[in-house]
Amino acid sequence: MTGDIFSENHEVEYYETNLLGNMTLSMLTDVIIMISQDQATALGVGTQYVIEHGVTWVVAQTDMDITRLPRVHEKVQVQTRGSSYTKYFAYREFWVRDMDGNELVHVGSLWVMMDIQSRKMVKLDEAMVIPYHCDRVRRIQRLNKIPKIHDEHDIMQTEYHVRFTDIDWNSHVNNAKYIGWMVDVLPYDFLASHVPTEVSIKYEDEVTYGDPVLSRGKFINTDNQIQTVHDISVNGSTKSIAEVKWKKLDKKGSK
């Protein structure tokens, strides 16, 4: 797979981290979306350009593999490339590395293009893809199939109020908020003693200002893996689903 790699450094500030000193999944999502925008701008096909052509990129799914989360005050390299595309889908990868080049996080992500007026998915405009120097392929890399919450027992849930500052320039809720709502329903003691190792999140529909967001989460039984499944809905309509695999920390606050 090809595609030119674009790289930026990022220093993790204290307000980007949680109680454990680990970068939050929301902030990690913000930072990778930022670098994808920065690459697009550098290639002359940035946000402004695609909007002027009546379309916008929409992320459909992200699969994160986390060796370890960036730590408070750590300087990291964030990298991305447009890896491949088909008629309707683009596959983009991200890496977060320590300054020695060791991989901390790898993200595979699936993107589609939406017509701004109709809010419907359209064919990719190749003029906006070619600058990435990635291959057109017959079939995109398969992303993780996320299990749904299939029974109602032992569900943890919380309702969220969409805040003015959750809204981006596009009048929709910034994608990075979803994973924040999802993870937050888990118990404090669990969040203070576990770290995510794999996070898959599928974005199915937009959330807008004023929507009453219901976030549900559930532990599911597996043989040797702590695993949670999540969904976000508004008035019964699912907006996003996710699966998170976790590992227990040896001691509180360890990396």
In the complex, which residues of this chain contact a second copy (CB under 8 A)? 13-15, 17-19, 21, 24, 26-27, 30, 33-34, 37, 72, 158, 160-161, 163-165, 167-169, 171, 174, 176, 180, 183-184, 186, 188, 191-192, 209-210
What CA–CA distances, in Å, run from 102 to 49, 95, 243, 249?
34, 10, 25, 21
Give 87 or 248: the residue with its C-beta nearer to a second copy.
248
Decide: 5 and 83 in contact? Cβ < 8 Å. Answer: no
Kindly tell me which of 28 and 113 has the beta carbon lying closer to a second copy: 28
* Distance in Å, CB of 140 to a second copy, minimum: 26
8 A C-beta contact, residue 29 and residue 181: no
Q: How far is Cα 182 from Cα 87, in angstroms, rounded to an integer?
A: 32
CB of 160 vs a second copy, minimal distance in Å: 7
Q: What is the DSSP letter of 192?
A: T
Shortest CB 214 distance to a second copy, Å: 13
Distance between CA 180 and CA 138 in Å, rounded? 35
Instruction: Round to whole Å and give the CA distance between 186 and 150.
Output: 18
- By beta-carbon proximity to a second copy, the closer residue of 184 and 204 is 184
- Give just the sign of the alpha carbon dihedral 146, 168, 123, 44: negative
- How many angstroms separate the CA atoms of 12 and 70, rounded? 7
Least CB distance to a second copy at residue 236 (A): 21
| Complex with a second copy: residue 21 or 131, whichever CB lies closer | 21
- Closest to a second copy by CB, 137 vs 156, is 156
Least spacing, CB of residue 97 vs a second copy, in Å: 19
